[in-house]
Amino acid sequence: MVVVGGGPGGATLGSLIRKYNPRLRVLILEREHFPREHVGESQLPPIGRVLQEMGAWEKIEAAGFPVKLGATYTWGKTTEPWVFGFIPEQEIRDTTRPAKYAGWRSRVALQVERSRYDEILLEHASSLGCEVRQGVRVAKVHHDGGAISHLETDQGERIVGRHYVDASGNAAVIRRQLGVEVDAPTLLRNVAFWDYWEKPGLNAPLMKNGTVRVQIRSLGFGWIWYIALSEDRTSVGLVCNAEYYKTSGKRPEQIYHEALKAEPSVAGWLSGASHRGKVESTTDWSYVARRAYGPNWFLCGECLGFADPILAAGLTLTHTCAEHLACTILELERGEQDAAWLRRQYEEIQQRRVAQHIKFAEYWYSANGLFKEVLDNCTKIAQGAGLKLDPAEAFRWLSHGGIDDHLGQFAIGGLGLSGFKAVQHRFSHDGDGVVACAIDGATHLKLNFAGATRSMMAAPQMGRVLKIEVLERDGARLPLVGHYKLVADVLAKEHAADRVVAGLKRAIAAAFPGETNLGPLFSQAMQAIEAMAVRGWVEVEKRPEAVAIRMSVPEEGEIIYSQSKGPAKKA
């Protein structure tokens, strides 16, 4: 197998291939020499699981990257900062580093200096037997009838493989030379400018025992990221509407530094700090490739699709995409499953995941009333999506195709269902939109699978591609796995609210023997019922005098709250 690109996508793919089938030869071609700077330093929790599986967790931990607990925003209907966390703060226990992938550390993320992070992963792939060649640029992709015959390097060397993978990021070496077109299904057209800042103790006020949050600050025309990479170094970037930048007539350096000075908190943090003096830029235009595979080639990671960075999903999409591709190629080599189905599933699932993150970013932007200078653009985004900025309608629109960053659990951008609804309290909505739960007050719950078709969906897991049942109806999807499967099994037997709750608790205890803290698992099961009810998979009845479910999401909670008030205490 020949992999073009030695970044996180290529390194993850190569590592997993070699872990599960060390007889397969993997060649990784990287045009640059590591270490090298790269933007995209903020992670989401699903990455930890992939790092653990590929055997790189301990090496990444040893590097001491700050632990990311979530983010702090000014976004929505108020300029007051509000906090989003992956987990309640009271669950954070021992912060000694390096730590095992267990407990609360398995539910948070990292903020990584990409020059070091990418080098560690590429060296790890090499340690597992991948042949890594740096400073080698693929100059030409020779192909005929859609299949690649060989690659040609800038030195004229001929490279031949059985599988070819484009993991070259935005360079998209194979994708571009094969003429694979991309769709940009959104009016989000942003540009990004960034630089790196340093000062001894620069981030000490923001860090606590090596943990930190990304700082996001809205301006009238865009937003600033402030990502602490260590106590002394920070990545600071500006994202703004491309048309606004074009009509401003300002140079990148000018609009960047003016923005940093205009935001009081950012200006305060950077006081006395020095920067490289090299403001870099890129277009942050969301897109999805129309094809993700051919007869003997695949696209992987950012060259397959890219979603606006507001959700910090770039590295997560890349790592998990590479994991799925590794399992797909391993199955193709085994020859036990239908090859066409495996390829189609890889393409459909990864295209859908990118598209879902693009949809979420659209909602995130269109619900920000602080974008005064580009409000018309945000309004057009909402209108173009047919989106009414009402919390309930927005959720139905966003979740219609199913959201499964964690297969079998509603999760996107680091947010579970309750987190998503809590965020909605912060957003600007039409009128007085109420963030309510569909099952609040429900006394009876009944499955509604009428008219749904059943098919099989790929679930990559530990080097294999498992087949799971999925229901589809009117464009909505329900994978019968994880908490959705658990809920469906209970609702097939019980309907009264109190019996459903009791049945869920028994089912969770049986499914997770030895687990001492079943509270979060039960909460996820209840959120699964809510998601199923909103999408029409569960019918809700509210009968007088019967025992009812009570489910609400407070504006000030444990993981999402106003910075000035702090997290709510658990009752």
Report the CATH number at residue 240: 3.30.9.100
pLDDT reported for residue 219: 97
**What separation in angstroms does the CA of 455 have from each of 59, 335, 525?**
40, 21, 23
538-566 tens-digit pLDDT? 999 999 999 999 999 888 999 999 999 99
Amino acid at 413: G
Q: Is residue 394 part of a domain?
A: no
Indicate whether 248 pLDDT > 80: yes
Q: Count the Cβ atoms, other than its own, within 10 Å of residue 62.
A: 11
Do 306 and 271 share a structural domain? no
CB 561 within 8 A of CB 83: yes
Looking at per-residue confidence, does 101 or 475 come out higher? 101
Instruction: Return d(Cα 358, Cα 364) in angstroms, integer.
Output: 10
Do 293 and 193 share a structural domain? no
Q: Is residue 421 part of a domain?
A: no
Q: Is residue 314 part of a domain?
A: yes
Read off φ and ψ for residue 464, nearest 5 degrees. Answer: -120, 160
Q: Please, where are the H alpha helices in 289-338? A: 314-334
Do 324 and 242 share a structural domain? no
251-308 tens-digit pLDDT? 999 999 999 999 999 999 999 999 998 999 998 889 999 999 999 999 999 999 999 9
The mean per-residue pLDDT over the stretch 212-236 comes to 97
The mean per-residue pLDDT over the stretch 105-115 comes to 96
Domain count, the chain: 3
Q: Is residue 370 part of a domain?
A: no
Do 295 and 261 share a structural domain? no
CA-atom Rg of the chain in angstroms: 24
Q: Is residue 70 part of a domain?
A: no
Torsion angle, alpha carbons of 255, 258, 264, 268, to 10: 110
Residue 190's DSSP bridge partners are 241, 284
Do 56 and 174 share a structural domain? yes
pLDDT reported for residue 550: 94
pTM: 0.95
CB 240 within 8 A of CB 282: no
CB 253 within 8 A of CB 233: no
Q: Is residue 253 part of a domain?
A: yes
418 closest CA partner among 65, 142, 86? 86
Last residue of a domain, one of 258, 284, 310: 284
Q: Is residue 398 part of a domain?
A: no
332: three-class secondary structure by DSSP: helix
Report residue 205's pLDDT band, with 50, 70 and 90 as the boundaries: very high
Do 320 and 469 share a structural domain? no
Segment (H or E) for 455 = strand 453-461
CATH number for 129:
3.50.50.60
The mean per-residue pLDDT over the stretch 227-247 comes to 96
Please report where in the chains the tokens 């484009």 appear, as a residue.
166
* Residues in CB range of 427: below 8 A, 6 or more apart: 75, 76, 77, 367, 368, 389, 391
Please report where in the chains the tokens 């990864």 appear, as a residue.
350
Looking at per-residue confidence, does 510 or 570 come out higher? 510
127-137 tens-digit pLDDT? 999 999 999 99
83 closest CA partner among 410, 520, 426? 426
Do 250 and 276 share a structural domain? yes
Do 193 and 222 share a structural domain? yes
Indicate whether 433 pLDDT > 80: no
Residue 272's region, left for phi above 0, alpha for psi from -120 to 50, else beta, is: left
114 closest CA partner among 54, 194, 40? 40
Instruction: Name the token pair of 231.
Output: 């106590």
Report residue 410's pLDDT band, with 50, 70 and 90 as the boundaries: confident
Torsion angle, alpha carbons of 166, 171, 177, 178, to 10: 50
Do 134 and 58 share a structural domain? yes
85 closest CA partner among 566, 570, 446? 566
Read off φ and ψ for residue 210, nearest 5 degrees. Answer: 80, 5
27-53 tens-digit pLDDT? 999 999 999 989 999 999 999 999 999
Instruction: Return d(Cα 465, Cα 456) in angstroms, integer.
Output: 11
Q: Is residue 27 part of a domain?
A: yes
Instruction: Return d(Cα 283, Cα 263) in angstroms, integer.
Output: 22
Last residue of a domain, one of 264, 284, 304: 284
Report residue 7's pLDDT band, with 50, 70 and 90 as the boundaries: very high
Do 349 and 336 share a structural domain? yes
pLDDT reported for residue 432: 65
pLDDT reported for residue 571: 59
DSSP class of 152: E
Amino acid at 159: I
Do 214 and 300 share a structural domain? no
State the residue range of the domain holding 32. Answer: 2-63+111-180+288-355
* Residues in CB range of 541: below 8 A, 6 or more apart: 442, 443, 444, 445, 446
DSSP class of 249: T
The mean per-residue pLDDT over the stretch 213-233 comes to 97
Cis peptide before 200 (omega within 30 of 0): no
Q: Tell me the CA end-to-end span of the chain in Å, nearest whole number.
A: 55
Last residue of a domain, one of 284, 312, 345: 284
DSSP class of 447: E
Do 317 and 224 share a structural domain? no
